[in-house]
Chain A
Amino acid sequence: MSAGSFGFGRRVAPTAIILAAGLVLLYVFLYAPILYVVYTSFATDVVWPFPLDFTLTAYEDLFASSLYGEALSNSLKLAFGSAVISTFLAAGGAIAVLRYRSRRRGLVMFLFIAPLFVADLLIGISILAFNARVLGLPGNLVSAMAANAVQGTAFGFLIILAQLVRYNWSMDDAAMVFGAGPLRCFAEITLPTIWPSLFGAFLIAFILAFNNLEITFYNLGAIPTLPSVAWGSLRFGLGPELFALAALVNAFVFAIFAAMYGLMKTGLVKFGYRGQ
C-alpha cells in the first residue's frame, strides 16, 4: 500500500503489477491473431500448420491473381485520392481554427469532428442515396474518394490540430510585416515547420481509406478493392491467400507506424506528439 512509487521509485506499487498484467493480456489478445496469421501465411497446411512446412505458395498465388492485382491498384488510387483531399481540407480547417479568433470557430470545429461520431455504415449508405437520387451520380472511384475523405478529414484535422497548437504564428506575422504575401509566407515559413503533421494526417487518411470496407463498398459499385475482395473471399471461409493478404497489409501498416515512431523518438518529427 505504502509503496505508491512515483513513476520510477525503487519499489513498484502492487497496483502497478496487477495493471501491467492487464496490459500484457490486452496485447496478447490484440496480437496473437495477427502473429498467428503471419505464421500461417507461410504454411502449406493452413488448418494445422505444425510443424511449419515453409512455403511461399500463398504469396505467389496472391501476386499471380489478376483480381487481387486489380483490387490493389484500385485501393491504392482510392486511398491516395482520399488522403490528398483529406489533408488539404484538414490543414485549412486546423490552421483557420488556431490562427483566427472567428466567431465561427465552434461551428467549424463541430463540422470537422462530426464524422467521427457517425458510423461507417451510415456514411456509406447516406452518401450512396444522396449521390444516386439527389445528384444523379453513379458510384465510381471519385465518389468513393470523396466519401472516404469525410472521415479522413476528421482524423487529419485532429492530428494537425494536436501539433499546431504549439506553432508560433508570430513568425508568420513577422514575415508578413516584411512584405511576404500569404502564399509565400506559407511556403517559406509555415510549411517547412508543419509538414510532418500534414504528412501524418496524409498517412492516416491513406491507411483508413485503403482498408475501409463499408463506406467504399456502397460508393464504388462493382469496382473491386482489397477489402471488398477479402470480404467476398472470407464468405467462403479462410483460404491461404487471405492469410497472405492479411500478413502483407499488417506488415504495411506496421512499417508506417514503425517509421512514424522512429521519427517521433528521434525528435525529427512530432506528428502531434509532445514527448515527456
Chain B
Amino acid sequence: MSGLRSGKRLHPELRFLGLAGPGAAFIVISLLLPLLSIVVFSFWRTESYELYADWNLDNYRTLLGEAAYRTFFLRSLVTAAIVTAICLVCGWPVAYFIARWGGRYRLLLVLLLAAPFFTGAILRITALQGLLGPIGLVNMTLVELGLPPIEALMYTQLASGLGLVYLFISFMVTAIYLSLVNFNFELLEVAKINGAKPWRAFIEITWPLNWIGTAIGIVLVFIPCLANVVTPRFLGGPDATSFGMSLSQQFGETGTWALGSAMGVFLFLASFAVILAIWPTIKLKRSGFTGAVQQ
C-alpha cells in the first residue's frame, strides 16, 4: 500500500483508475457484457416468449439453413456495400473542397453537414418522404404537370438505399475532412514541381496519406447500414426486408430472443470482420495526423 502512495498524494496510476475507471466499467457493463450475453443466449432456446438454458446450435442451423435469412443478410450486405461506396465517392470531393478551399467558412460548412444528423433517423426519413415519397413534392409536381410519378422512388430498394445515403453521408464527409484538415497540401506543390500530374499526386500522396480518415468513414457508414431497420421499413417495399428488420422482429412481435441473439451475433461478427479487414491497412505513421499537426 505504501508503494502506491507518495506522501499525501495518491499514486498517479490510482488517480488514472479513479478518473477513467467509472467510464471504463460502465462501458464493460453496458456494452461488452450485454454483447457477451447475446452470444450466450444464441445457444439457448425460446419457447412461448421465454428463454431456456438448454444449449444447442438450432438457432445457427435455422439462420444458415433457411433461405429467407440468407436473402435478408445478403440484401443488407450488398446494400451496405453500395451505400458505403456512394458515400465515399460523393463524400471525398466535398471533404476535399472544404479542407482545401473552405477558408474561413470551413467550420460553418462542416457544422452544416453534421447538424442534420442530430435530428434523428425517424424525423430525417419523415423529411425525405415529404420530398420524395408518394405524396412528396417531386411526385406531386409530376402529377400536377400531368406526368406519371417516379415509380422507382416509391417503396423500392432504391428508395431505401437513397435514404441510407441521406442518413449517413455526413459521417463519411466528416471523417475524411478531419483527416484532410491535418494534411499538408504543400506536399502537392512539391509533387507538381517535380512533374507529377494532379491525378498522380492524388493517387500517390493525398489518398494514401488520408487513408485513415477514409477507412474510419467507411467503417462508420458500413456498420449502421448493415444493421439498418428504419429505411427499408418506411421507404422500402415488401421485397426490401433487411436483416436488421428481421432481427428486430425476433425481439418484438415473434419474441424468439434466442434466434434474435444468434442474428445479433452474426451481425456483430460481420461488422467486426470489416473492421479487422480494414485495420491492417491503417498505418498511423503514414497518416496526415503525424505529418502536419501544428503543435
Contact = CB atoms under 8 A, between A and B. Distances in A.
A37 B127 contact: yes
Give chain B's interface secondary structure class: helix
Contact of A134 (B37, B124, B257): B37
Interface string B203-238: 000000000000000011001101101100010000
A238 B133 contact: yes
B119 to A, nearest CB: 5
A101 B128 CA distance: 48
Given A208-B118, A245-B123, A153 B26 contact: yes
Interface stretch (A57-65, A66-74, A256-264): A256-264
Contacts of B9: 176
Contacts, number: 280
A112 interface: yes
Contacts of A15: 198
Given A8-B103, A213-B122, A213-B230, A126 B35 contact: yes
Contacts of A16: 97, 100-101
The CB with the most chain A CB atoms within 10 A, among B103, B118, B140, B271, is that of: B118
A260 B111 contact: yes
A36 B128 CA distance: 9
B277 to A, nearest CB: 13
Contact of B27 (A19, A150, A243): A150
Given A37-B126, A260-B111, A48 B118 contact: no
A40 interface: yes
B267 to A, nearest CB: 6
A213 B16 CA distance: 34
A130 B36 CA distance: 9
B137 A36 contact: yes
A125 B260 contact: yes
A73 B24 CA distance: 30
B23 A121 contact: no
A227 B93 contact: no
Contact of A234 (B140, B229, B234, B275): B234
Contacts of A208: 118
B19 A234 contact: no
A36 B136 CA distance: 10
B12 interface: yes
A54 interface: no
Interface residues of A, number: 103
Interface of A: 1, 4, 6-8, 15-16, 18-20, 22-23, 26-27, 29-34, 36-37, 40, 46-48, 85, 88-90, 92-93, 95-97, 99-102, 104-105, 107-108, 111-112, 114-123, 125-131, 133-134, 146-147, 149-150, 153, 157, 176, 182, 204, 207-208, 210-214, 218, 227, 230-231, 234-235, 237-238, 242-243, 245-246, 249-250, 253-254, 257, 260-261, 264-265, 273, 276
A-B residue pairs, 3 tightest by C-beta = A211-B120, A119-B227, A89-B23
Interface of B: 9, 12-13, 15-24, 26-28, 30-35, 37-38, 41, 51, 90, 93-94, 96-98, 100-101, 103-104, 106-109, 111-116, 118-133, 135, 137, 140, 144, 166, 169-170, 173, 185, 189, 192, 198, 219-220, 223-224, 226-227, 229-230, 234, 244, 247-248, 251, 257, 260-261, 264, 267-268, 271, 275
